Structure 1
């Protein structure tokens, strides 16, 4: 290495001294020899002192990352080697400099972690696990809201909806209203309507369909992969029945048979012709594509009970805004139209409750939709936070081991900013590898969750049509962005701390102690314990709530009762004969509107008019469901119609209407509740199909039955019936409640086979145990979700606590030796180590418990706390002391066990050997 050679800085070495420009080329450079053959560039650069040049030469021999390279100047007639000297001093153009710097940093990081693979594996696994779990939630969010079908200009699609009131479900539009909206407003260039979902059976398999207007596919701008789509002519009355299959229905039910086009399928006793098959990536603006699409005008063919009343069916309206029309202006015009129409129908000014929601995704893109995913992001994000805290603790410990290396790099001229950039690059390399691992973990987690859900879902609750959502560029961007954020979370503080050194002591190999890393490590442990406490308390609350729901007594039999809905009244007689001939059926009863719940009405008694719930039941109802008559009698065999003017009331209604007397023999007058027929807003031109007119009648109370509990789930309240009116199994629109022999699930399957053989559009057949166990089932799902997350968080917390205490014992070995030499016992040394963990663990316990209580208080003040209830009491016990106590005890026990091993190791340290350490 010749001292007269030109110093060519590679960009890795930043001298503390100033770089200065030498005199022009015609003046002799003091560092050059006198040989004539030596040509110099117009400028040369040298360190400001010879001391820095010595450090530069020493850097190369030391083999560190910052190395200065010496190169010869260009020969005669040749351009300078780097061709960068153009009249003013420049080392490298900034883009090239940065690119080379980043590449060298990445290569150095790879070499570093190749020498320490265990550290790299720990960081990649921990961050990949946390980031993968968060990616699970984002993948679902992306599939539900952000991912759009292959439709034309999806950002122009908006849904017309009514806001939900506090006391009633939002009203839906009818077909006449849909046609009037399109005809009388100039908001949409085109709009389609979607009706209720329909089911049918073919070859023993359920087909789920969606009824749409004929312009559905044309408005979305999609074409069929095979055949054609539905048109406006298909939706006209009297048109030949036609359906379009989804790719899912085509592959699942017809094994992707190319000859399915023009094939005739009998659905609901009506032959339909298959006219097309849609592409695989088209879902029809739904989370999972139905098996087929059919014209809305054929609703009566799929639901015979609504034949002739198709114009009253509830519809969803989605339209494409006219070009240049703002959303706010369109909403103003729609509200004005809705007000005019309401005044024409009812003569009253309605409450303005129309909204326009974007429909570029599966569900409307609204604040409420995004808030549904917030708890999931928080829960899964806690795992990422705990993992990042674990990695930060590891990097803090690793920074102490690298003090001498970093001190030498600082001493030879590297700036603190340059060292921090290098340390962040090392962490970023691992974070990007973690992002790749997170993608695989998210796919596996989604597959496992879907398999667990489908395998545990009761078969009579529904048919699962979802699959693992595909990953697209949004998921990739999220993972990369998550890797950068994770790097800042776990690497920035250790990098800042690693460059805060006393150079002389660090270069001699002495460990430079700083109280701030200890506080940082304790804070990270406290953060991990806080997250674990919060998740475990949530899981314990869900577990206790699920157990309470499973043990709840609704007041009637559920273990051996099957319920069947008959939608085709023309086939009711044949279906009743099939049910009566089934050997597993012990008794049959009829009920309307269902086995659980009733319809709102007003009853006049001795205490005045009171709001009650009523239902129609056959005389066998009380014996089939095991509801005892506590006073009086039930219905006689001849009392099978409301015309006989007798009624049975529940205990609570008897106390409510006749608080000071016996209800048996009393006369009550029952009047329909107008809110049940027209919604909570008062009068409306949208009658409810499922509500038959209940004429005002007078009834004589003949008996008092035990109270039956209602329930509340997912915002839907089903009140227990307080007044029973007689009916018969032959009466239209009544459901069948059947007590069975043996296994109720086998009886249900046998009934499904018998009834679908008669009518392929047969309604649902479910066990009463499944209906009443729905709340407990979804609470168990919440429990398993939070317990898995809580267990992961606790495992990461324990590993972090163990690592921190083990590291502290190793760093304080000499101190422990001194303590033991002057008389400390092994027990006192072990207690000292345990006390090191007591403070952060205690802080985490208090913070976690406080956050859980605050979360419970926030939920109690909202509707979310009361969304699941049985009877009159919410079964989600937000402040269950057993749940809180058990969770805190579990975490304390686990933390003591994690700290016990380092404490025992500290107590066995040999003081003589410890004192001999440098």
Structure 2
């Protein structure tokens, strides 16, 4: 009874208190007396009966746990003890603890950083009232050359009126479009983004004024007093947060408007970049009666109780009403109308897939980290088998042992999750500093809908909740197996002498750990294949012939206000500006173009041929249209294949001329020489036809990944264009050119702002950012996965060799040579690598198809990438196992046998 009394005294000093202690002692005494009486009835002596009763009752740990379970007491005390014991265990193994926390910090931090991007783009609620009821309504137009295929397009005001009058499913509708204006007369001239909207726009979105009021029905009518609503940024930047800004004037493109309100901070409109708003009807009265001037998006709010499916079904019938009101001869189809949830339109589908691919990639990294840690903790748990056996022998339950091991894993996971949140926060801050504005990058298919800026990224409550969840999941992934292994341990094996290392490296346990290493290698291969495919895409992208030379070219945008620069004045201004810049010694070439290559912002229209048979209206091949000045081919380094380029003589009053690209020459004239032929262009006043005077090399004006289509260059001197880009080629860096350019522009017009000042290299970077970003991030994750796999193989093999030292010594004492021992260790590594690569290749074959839309001129099952990655993994696995194999071969058999 001495040990039992000692146990009872310790228990009395615990959190149960003396009253619970007395109760437990009384119950134990009663149970013991009952067992003694049972033994006495069998005829045993008193001492033997007491001994057998104590054995049957159990050890102190078992008694204490049984009592607590029966009384439903002590769970909090047990949890506290487990936590304290777990903390001591973590401190006793600082190396493993540091590796575990660091590994989890990288894995969880990467997941949180990528998830913050996915959260901002796809999950976080839109900042509008009842955003789930908002829908974009698209006008559907049939493709002339693809029967049954429709493309989404935007609205003209008259067609919108047909829909507004015929629909019954929306409680409110509004047109809007994004635009730019020159802001003057209030400090330095500035090119500012804005939106033209109907009066219902703000109430529909649930936006209230920060100051003053928003548009009323009286503001949105033809002939109304010109008014404007400014954004919080303009109010702060241009008016110093002056509460008396209401009623003050603001000048946009030479038009003076009265400020009637200020929007809340952070609101940038549906375009995601607006800072000024103007009412639609008084701003564009010339568009109100033009049924084929498609310039506006349509936003609508569903009526309560009406589903999006019901809306889409109802609006489809409106296409026939539009065609009946504004008939157009077509042979392939009629107009249509479709409604799509605003939430579904918030981001480009390719970016959506890219974000989800990255999220899946970092999820794999975390999974590899957890598998790695599970293997390490399993091997470490083998060293604690003796401790587990002793605790079981003293009466501890298997559940308690397993719980203890799981709590240790949970402590490491919590620390890793906290460190991961810090890693994610720092990563987001670094990304925001490197790329402060993503608005030019992340935009939707409607021309900029719901753009995402770097300021939207961060660790909010959703991301914090994910950090907690990842910590718990990580604990489950790498803590359950060691806890289960510890709980199922037996009492006898750890106490027996070690023969051949079998109890330390049992065949079943070793097979399981080998399986975890195989999983690491397979998962790492999937990551490496994905990164390899994207890197090969980047290489192909860099090798793409753009058709021009982007180096040493600075670009900036000019927009001539229509009130100040009618067509007869815009051409002289552009010529004067080009002449001034060309006269500077640091400038090699300069030209005007209304759009830049690789930016996908050029116009398109139908082309016909006066010398051929007439075609139905709206037919004819689609061609890209670019307005340029003389010298553009020199400024951009575009090769002129044959014929000539534009000169100063190609101006208004002279015969109209155009230059085409090589693809247009091949597709539109089918092997015939196009020089001297005539072509009619549906824009720029060239419907009557123009002579082809030259053929230029193909230039990728659309996306870099998109092959050039037929393009036509129109001389801006024959077709005035009030806005566009100036291309300046110079050997000087851009920073040295900008002050000179500002001076020359100001010498002609002090109120003309410059905007969008970028080099062509920067524009090329913006055009290829998605492929670069995915490739770089996947490469980082793949390298991290490879390092984790290598570390896992090395650590497990090193610990296995250390635990099998006596076995290896016995083998060598019995005649095994060092190279036999090396072959034993390396053979295990080669087997793990071979099986892992085989499984990984199958998984990569399936998963790589998810990258199809993100790859450029690379097949998702590229044999070269698969072979190279497989070889790489086999090599690094063998290299990782060489040091453990070398150490195993240097074991001294005499010392081992002597110790044995």
Taking the TM superposition and a 5 Å limit, the aligned residue runs for 1:340-739 are 340-346=321-327, 350=334, 352=336, 354-359=338-343, 364=346, 371-454=353-436, 465-467=453-455, 469-508=457-496, 511-563=503-555, 564=557, 566=559, 568-569=561-562, 570-571=564-565, 572=570, 573-582=572-581, 583=584, 584-591=586-593, 599-602=604-607, 611=621, 613=623, 615=625, 617-635=628-646, 637-640=648-651, 644=655, 646-656=657-667, 662-665=673-676, 667-670=677-680, 672=682, 691-692=683-684, 694-695=686-687, 697=689, 701-703=692-694, 705-710=695-700, 712-713=702-703, 717=706, 719-724=708-713, 726-728=715-717, 731-733=720-722, 735=724, 738-739=727-728
| Count of residues paired in the alignment | 828
Answer yes or no: is the 8 Å Cα contact 2:176–2:195 preserved in 1: yes
Deviation at 1:211, TM superposition (A): 3.9
Q: Among residues 135, 138, 151, which one is paired with 1:158 in the alignment?
A: 135
Answer yes or no: is the 8 Å Cα contact 1:9–1:68 preserved in 2: no
Point out the more displaced range, 111-120 or 326-335: 111-120
Answer yes or no: is the 8 Å Cα contact 1:593–1:734 preserved in 2: no
Answer yes or no: is the 8 Å Cα contact 1:399–1:498 preserved in 2: yes
Which residue of 2 is the match for residue 833 of structure 1? Answer: 825
Taking a change above 3 Å as real, the CA distance of residues 248 and 859 of structure 1, as seen in their structure-2 partners, is: same
Answer yes or no: is the 8 Å Cα contact 1:748–1:767 preserved in 2: no
Deviation at 1:254, TM superposition (A): 5.9
Deviation at 1:116, TM superposition (A): 3.2
Question: Mind listing any 5+ residue stretches in structure 1 that lack a counterpart?
Answer: 11-24, 34-47, 61-65, 72-81, 83-89, 673-690, 866-873
Taking a change above 3 Å as real, the CA distance of residues 530 and 815 of structure 1, as seen in their structure-2 partners, is: same
Which residue of 2 is the match for residue 812 of structure 1? Answer: 804
Which residue of 2 is the match for residue 747 of structure 1? Answer: 737
Q: Does 1:91 align with 2:66?
A: no
1:200 and 1:734 map into 2 onto residues whose CA distance is 11
1:365 and 1:614 map into 2 onto residues whose CA distance is 26
Which residue of 1 is the match for residue 780 of structure 2? Answer: 788
Question: Mind listing any 5+ residue stretches in structure 2 that lack a counterpart?
Answer: 12-25, 35-48
Taking a change above 3 Å as real, the CA distance of residues 657 and 714 of structure 1, as seen in their structure-2 partners, is: closer
Point out the more displaced range, 575-584 or 258-267: 258-267
Deviation at 1:475, TM superposition (A): 2.0
Which residue of 2 is the match for residue 326 of structure 1? Answer: 307
For residues 518-563 of structure 1, the C-alpha deviation after alignment (integer angstroms, 9 at most, x for no partner) is 2232232233233333333444444444344344433334334455
2:415 and 2:691 map into 1 onto residues whose CA distance is 77
Answer yes or no: is the 8 Å Cα contact 2:605–2:681 preserved in 1: no
Q: Among residues 120, 125, 133, which one is paired with 2:110 in the alignment?
A: 133
In the superposition, the TM-score normalised over structure 2's length comes to 0.78
1:230 and 1:8 map into 2 onto residues whose CA distance is 81
Answer yes or no: is the 8 Å Cα contact 2:223–2:282 preserved in 1: no
Taking a change above 3 Å as real, the CA distance of residues 751 and 836 of structure 1, as seen in their structure-2 partners, is: same
Answer yes or no: is the 8 Å Cα contact 2:291–2:326 preserved in 1: no
For residues 66-94 of structure 1, the C-alpha deviation after alignment (integer angstroms, 9 at most, x for no partner) is 672899xxxxxxxxxx9xxxxxxx8235x
Answer yes or no: is the 8 Å Cα contact 2:308–2:341 preserved in 1: no
Answer yes or no: is the 8 Å Cα contact 1:565–1:736 preserved in 2: yes
Deviation at 1:839, TM superposition (A): 1.8
Deviation at 1:848, TM superposition (A): 4.0
Answer yes or no: is the 8 Å Cα contact 1:614–1:721 preserved in 2: yes
Deviation at 1:790, TM superposition (A): 1.9
RMSD after superposition: 4.7
Deviation at 1:50, TM superposition (A): 7.0
1:188 and 1:258 map into 2 onto residues whose CA distance is 37
For residues 276-301 of structure 1, the C-alpha deviation after alignment (integer angstroms, 9 at most, x for no partner) is 44444656567x66444444457559
For residues 800-855 of structure 1, the C-alpha deviation after alignment (integer angstroms, 9 at most, x for no partner) is 11111111111111121122223333333233222221122233334445544555
For residues 713-734 of structure 1, the C-alpha deviation after alignment (integer angstroms, 9 at most, x for no partner) is 399x573445555552772357
Q: Does 1:317 align with 2:317?
A: no
Which residue of 1 is the match for residue 40 of structure 2? Answer: none
Which residue of 2 is the match for residue 203 of structure 1? Answer: 188
Deviation at 1:899, TM superposition (A): 2.0
Taking a change above 3 Å as real, the CA distance of residues 654 and 242 of structure 1, as seen in their structure-2 partners, is: closer
1:364 and 1:458 map into 2 onto residues whose CA distance is 14
1:331 and 1:662 map into 2 onto residues whose CA distance is 50
Deviation at 1:171, TM superposition (A): 0.6
Answer yes or no: is the 8 Å Cα contact 2:350–2:854 preserved in 1: no
Taking a change above 3 Å as real, the CA distance of residues 605 and 135 of structure 1, as seen in their structure-2 partners, is: same
Taking a change above 3 Å as real, the CA distance of residues 109 and 256 of structure 1, as seen in their structure-2 partners, is: farther
Taking a change above 3 Å as real, the CA distance of residues 162 and 402 of structure 1, as seen in their structure-2 partners, is: farther
Which residue of 1 is the match for residue 790 of structure 2? Answer: 798
Taking a change above 3 Å as real, the CA distance of residues 750 and 544 of structure 1, as seen in their structure-2 partners, is: farther
1:246 and 1:737 map into 2 onto residues whose CA distance is 29
Taking a change above 3 Å as real, the CA distance of residues 50 and 469 of structure 1, as seen in their structure-2 partners, is: farther
Point out the more displaced range, 272-281 or 517-526: 272-281
Q: Does 1:193 align with 2:171?
A: no
2:458 and 2:340 map into 1 onto residues whose CA distance is 28
2:9 and 2:126 map into 1 onto residues whose CA distance is 57
Answer yes or no: is the 8 Å Cα contact 1:228–1:275 preserved in 2: yes
Q: Determine which structure has the larger helix proportion and give its number.
A: 2
Deviation at 1:375, TM superposition (A): 0.3
Answer yes or no: is the 8 Å Cα contact 1:568–1:762 preserved in 2: no
Taking a change above 3 Å as real, the CA distance of residues 640 and 384 of structure 1, as seen in their structure-2 partners, is: same
Answer yes or no: is the 8 Å Cα contact 2:436–2:455 preserved in 1: no
2:759 and 2:126 map into 1 onto residues whose CA distance is 37
Taking the TM superposition and a 5 Å limit, the aligned residue runs for 1:758-773 are 758-760=750-752, 764-773=756-765
Deviation at 1:392, TM superposition (A): 0.7
Answer yes or no: is the 8 Å Cα contact 2:578–2:591 preserved in 1: no
Which residue of 2 is the match for residue 68 of structure 1? Answer: 64
1:887 and 1:481 map into 2 onto residues whose CA distance is 33
1:816 and 1:741 map into 2 onto residues whose CA distance is 72
Q: Does 1:270 align with 2:255?
A: yes
Q: Which secondary structure does the structure 1 equivalent of 2:435 belong to? A: helix
Taking a change above 3 Å as real, the CA distance of residues 723 and 370 of structure 1, as seen in their structure-2 partners, is: closer
